[in-house]
Amino acid sequence: MESDASSNAPQEIAGAGALPPAPGKLKLYSFWRSSCSYRVRIALNLKGLEYEYKPVNLLTNEQSDPEFEKLNPIKYVPALVDGATVIADSFAILLYLEDMYPQHPLLPQDPQKRALNIQIASIVGSSIQPLQNYPVLNFIEEKLDSNEAIRWIQHQINRGFTALEKLLKGCSTIYATGDEIQLADVFLEPQIYGGIKRFGIDMSIYPVLGRLHEAYLEHPAFLAALPEKQPDAPS
């Protein structure tokens, strides 16, 4: 990990807020292939916010670097530093960005639509992604083998995608909950993209999700956030 976390992370860091404001460019601690980091990159792009990319290599365990642990005690990417404010966890970061930088709102005012956005975000963020995270995979690989690990992930993703497809049945808008990109989309695309590219998920059985995926791949905010376009992606 590039180590300027210490200079940007005051000693009392304990989460968002509290510290005196210090102007500065946003810094995103990210790993190119991390779907949680990908969510935040999309939102930063949508909101037109410039940021400095701080790579954290999960394959060499840089998330366990004590300097990074000061930013996120649970040792996951992403983490965002905004002046003296440090926030980790993609959901918390997205809500913070929504409050601080309201341009291109991600959460609709309409209560039903807002709840649907949060439900979709939650399915991806709580009921799919944590089940495919490295500690889970490594555990299954160690106890069983890598084939079982991939079968486990595919099962969990298919279970989640089946629910999402039902939830979005009849969706006729450009994006998941309307003709503007909203929170649901920011969660959906990194999960769909990783499902296809890393875990070989067959999207032909998810026509709505498949159509949304194509729409996302035409949007500049999503294109610029693609894993392979990040500075730490292998060339």
Ligand X SMILES: N[C@@H](CCC(=O)N[C@@H](CS)C(=O)NCC(=O)O)C(=O)O
By the criterion CB under 6 A, which residues form the site for ligand X? 34-36, 58, 63, 76-78, 89-91, 125, 133-135
Residue placing its CB nearer to ligand X in the complex, 134 or 224: 134
Closest approach, Cβ 139 to ligand X, in A, equals 11
Closest approach, Cβ 234 to ligand X, in A, equals 17
Residue placing its CB nearer to ligand X in the complex, 41 or 208: 41
Closest approach, Cβ 57 to ligand X, in A, equals 10
Closest approach, Cβ 204 to ligand X, in A, equals 26
Residue placing its CB nearer to ligand X in the complex, 108 or 227: 227
Closest approach, Cβ 135 to ligand X, in A, equals 5
Residue placing its CB nearer to ligand X in the complex, 118 or 174: 118
Residue placing its CB nearer to ligand X in the complex, 208 or 226: 226
Residue placing its CB nearer to ligand X in the complex, 62 or 176: 62
User: In the structure encoding, which two tokens stand for residue 145, read together?
Assistant: 């083998």
Maximum Cα–Cα distance for the chain, whole Å?
51
> For the chain, what is the HEC assignment?
CCCCHHHHCCCCCCCCCCCCCCCCCEEEEECCCCHHHHHHHHHHHHCCCCEEEEECCHHHCHHHCHHHHHHCCCCCCCEEEECCEEEECHHHHHHHHHHHCCCCCCCCCCHHHHHHHHHHHHHHHHHHHHHHCHHHHHHHHHHCCHHHHHHHHHHHHHHHHHHHHHHCCCCCCCECCECCCCHHHHHHHHHHHHHHHCCCCCHHHCHHHHHHHHHHCCCHHHHHHCHHHCCCCCC
| Rounded CA separation 111/116 (Å) | 9
Closest approach, Cβ 140 to ligand X, in A, equals 13
